Amino acid sequence: MGDSNPQSVPPAAPTTTATSTPATSSANVSPPRKKLYKKKSIAWENFIELKGPDGKSLGRARCRWCEKECGCSSVNGTTSMLKHIARCAKYPYNEDKKQKLLSFKSVGHLQDSDCHSSSLSNWKFDQELCRQALTKMIIVDELPFKFVEREGFKNFVSVLQPRFQLLSRSTVATDCLNLYKNEKVKLKNVLKNCVQRISLTTDLWTSLQNISYMCLTGHFIDKDWKLQKRILNFCVVTSHKGEVIGHAIESCLLEWGLENVCTITVDNASNNDTAVAYLKKKYGKKNGGILGGEFMHMRCCAHILNLIVKDGLSDVHDSIARIRGAVKYIRSSPARAEIFKKCVEQERIKSKRSLCLDVPTRWNSTYLMLDTALKFQKAFERLEEQDLTFKWELKEGIPGEEDWNNARVFTQFLETFYETSNRMSGSLYVTSNSYFEEICTIENTISDWSKSLDPYLSSMAIRMKLKFDKYWGDIDKVNLMVVIAVVLDPRCKLEYVNFCYSMVYQPIKVEALCKRVKETLDRLFDQYKLFDSSLGVSPTQVGQSSGEMEVDKPDSEVQVPKKNLKQCFLKHRQEKEGGVLKSEVDKYLEESVENDDSSFDILVWWKMNCKKYPTLAMVAREVLSIPVSTVASECAFSTGGRVLDQFRSSLTPKVVECLICAQDWLRASPIPIDVEETLEELEELESGIF
């Protein structure tokens, strides 16, 4: 600039240069020629120079926006004009810092993908908030760090908000790590103040880098009776040995300061048996373990179902292979897909589903492949007539009528398993209370189909029954936590357990099991009363079967006569009821069961009745949070595969853990945090990290 510029001026609006032309004199008189110089200052794009009748400058200029005049003589220069533009109220590129703008802000959480509601709120540009939002976007949407340096993103930001200062990839990476540390501090304080035990799921995964990762996920029900799931660690393990896994889980629990472990859900590998046995020694005998860790080991139902179905697949393996080859042939090229599409149109098949290829090691994908292929059976048969290469390229052979019949029987049989697997793999709702019912349903289904006249179906069911009995057939080896979860479901209780088992086992054996379940529930109840101080409830509060919480009073307010009368009344009740005062467990079991309808929410029921059964509610709060599958941990491996793809395989394990854990925490529903109680501790922890 030719003139001095004491303060920055926002970009000027595109206008024509304000250079006036001297008025033309009469034709007979020619004014002396004077060289005209172009105004170079940016101020002239927003001001019009004022001139007299003779065309000479008056030393003043008028603002194009507010029409205020400023000096522009050789003495003033353009300084006054530049100062005016910086504070001009009508200049469109200026923002009144005292005046906030209105904007529509989306209402909802990060996991609500179809959130359309919004609210009107005040808004003003904040570089730091925009930077935090960008960091969350990088983590949640699994974007690479170099995304912020790409041309498209830079152009988008320049149009959306030119004042946003762009960041480098290293700065974004640092922001992601800092966000992970902050969110970890918050979650650690929540778990520290959590009064109930936590249930765990864990599994192993090998990445593209050939590095073994262990995912450890925590499950618990918060104070508002909302089921919560958080990935605690996604860390490297040196091997898949049971001792190494056990030590790795112990290290993670020590890092989080967790000692109260309820159960650990793992798959059926032998190394997991060793790992859980090690953790039982460490945590089972402590106050945090339930009944000495007797029921700490939970086997993943999804893996057991997978083993059961795999044994049934062997009888129809050849038929499945031929149908898989036919589907693979069509999906191998667009030309073949187009020919098959014409066959579908000629057969007038109106299904909108498309053929999908299965993963042979996952039976549920095989079920989906067969279920879809059966809808296009006639199209496959027409393709055989019209496409000669279809027959030549299939090494397994073309699927015939027998193969389609086998597939039809197989899919009908597996539909029950598929639906059960989907229901038991959920992590956003309670599954422990329905585990028992699902097992009984599968057992009855297998028993019925084993008596079928269809040889394929009966043979398949018999093979599955052998595998089923290996894991679930002996009721004496069943983890009683899943049965107690059914008892703590007000729609079922102990009567439902008796009813379901009576359909399969002898009455004497069922009676013995129900007695053992009742005794175990009583032991749990007594333990929760005994260790009530570790659960954050006073002994007086726990002993209140009526749910009324007593408040300690000063000695001056204690009325001895009332206290003696109450003791006499309790003694009178005991004598009247046969010398034994009924516990919460007995009262709960004696009440009638609740009606089962689609709107019933078991967590809402216990929230409404926790004052009526205070100690039993604490038992239900932990038992109902037990996951019956490791799918919650396995889902993290899909995220890990996207984070560590072939283009970003150089990320360090610590960065991988940061991205996967932070994404899970940001997407999860917010946990209620008492800010007033944890603010000082958060500040101390943050000062130690950064």
Indicate whether 314 and 453 sit together in one domain. yes
Between 265 and 283, whose confidence is greater? 265
* pLDDT tens profile 124-149: 788 899 999 999 999 999 899 999 99
Per-residue confidence band for 119, with pLDDT thresholds at 50, 70 and 90: low
pLDDT(543) > 50: no
Indicate whether 234 and 325 sit together in one domain. no
Q: Determine the Cα–Cα distance for residues 212 and 342; give it in Å rounded to an integer.
A: 47
Indicate whether 404 and 452 sit together in one domain. yes
Is residue 494 situated within a structural domain? no
Is residue 222 situated within a structural domain? yes
Q: Which of 206-210, 422-426, 529-533, 606-610: highest mean pLDDT?
A: 606-610
Is residue 442 situated within a structural domain? yes
Indicate whether 241 and 310 sit together in one domain. no
In the chain, how many domains are there?
Answer: 3
Q: Given 448, 473, 498, which residue is the final one in a domain?
A: 473
Measured between alpha carbons, how far is residue 257 from residues 24, 252, 260, 532, 593 in Å?
89, 9, 9, 20, 39
Indicate whether 454 and 332 sit together in one domain. yes
Supply the mean pLDDT for the chain: 79
Indicate whether 286 and 386 sit together in one domain. no
Per-residue confidence band for 97, with pLDDT thresholds at 50, 70 and 90: low
Q: Given 96, 122, 142, which residue is the final one in a domain?
A: 96
Is residue 614 situated within a structural domain? no
Indicate whether 189 and 322 sit together in one domain. no
Indicate whether 50 and 87 sit together in one domain. yes
Is residue 225 situated within a structural domain? yes
- CATH code of the domain containing 277: 3.30.420
Average pLDDT over residues 180-191: 92
Is residue 558 situated within a structural domain? no
Indicate whether 309 and 453 sit together in one domain. yes
Average pLDDT over residues 168-187: 93
pLDDT(512) > 60: yes
Q: Determine the Cα–Cα distance for residues 142 and 589; give it in Å rounded to an integer.
A: 49
Per-residue confidence band for 574, with pLDDT thresholds at 50, 70 and 90: low
* pLDDT tens profile 233-245: 999 999 999 999 9
Q: Which amino acid is at 564?
A: N
Between 480 and 114, whose confidence is greater? 480
Indicate whether 426 and 341 sit together in one domain. yes
Among 120-129, 212-221, 395-404, the minimum mean pLDDT is found in 120-129
Q: Determine the Cα–Cα distance for residues 436 and 500; give it in Å rounded to an integer.
A: 9
Is residue 400 situated within a structural domain? yes
What is the pLDDT at residue 208?
Answer: 79
Query: Under 8 Å CB-to-CB from 529, ≥6 apart: which residues?
Result: 539, 542, 543, 615
What is the pLDDT at residue 289?
Answer: 67
pLDDT(397) > 50: yes
Edge-to-edge strands, sheet with 47-51: 47-51, 57-63, 69-71
* pLDDT tens profile 301-359: 888 888 888 877 776 778 888 999 999 999 988 999 999 999 999 999 888 888 888 88
Indicate whether 311 and 438 sit together in one domain. yes
Per-residue confidence band for 516, with pLDDT thresholds at 50, 70 and 90: very high
What is the pLDDT at residue 117?
Answer: 56
Between 24 and 306, whose confidence is greater? 306
pLDDT(184) > 60: yes
Between 570 and 205, whose confidence is greater? 205
What is the pLDDT at residue 409?
Answer: 82
Indicate whether 332 and 363 sit together in one domain. yes
Is residue 327 situated within a structural domain? yes
Which structural domain, as residue segments, surrounds residue 314? Answer: 305-473
* pLDDT tens profile 350-396: 888 888 888 877 788 888 899 999 999 999 999 988 888 888 888 77
Pairing of strands 57-63, 69-71: antiparallel
pLDDT(223) > 90: no
Q: Given 473, 503, 526, which residue is the final one in a domain?
A: 473
Between 396 and 462, whose confidence is greater? 462
Q: Using CB atoms within 10 A of its CB, is residue 385 exposed (0-12), middle (13-18) or buried (19+)?
A: exposed
Half-sphere exposure for 446 (CA within 13 Å, toward CB) = 25
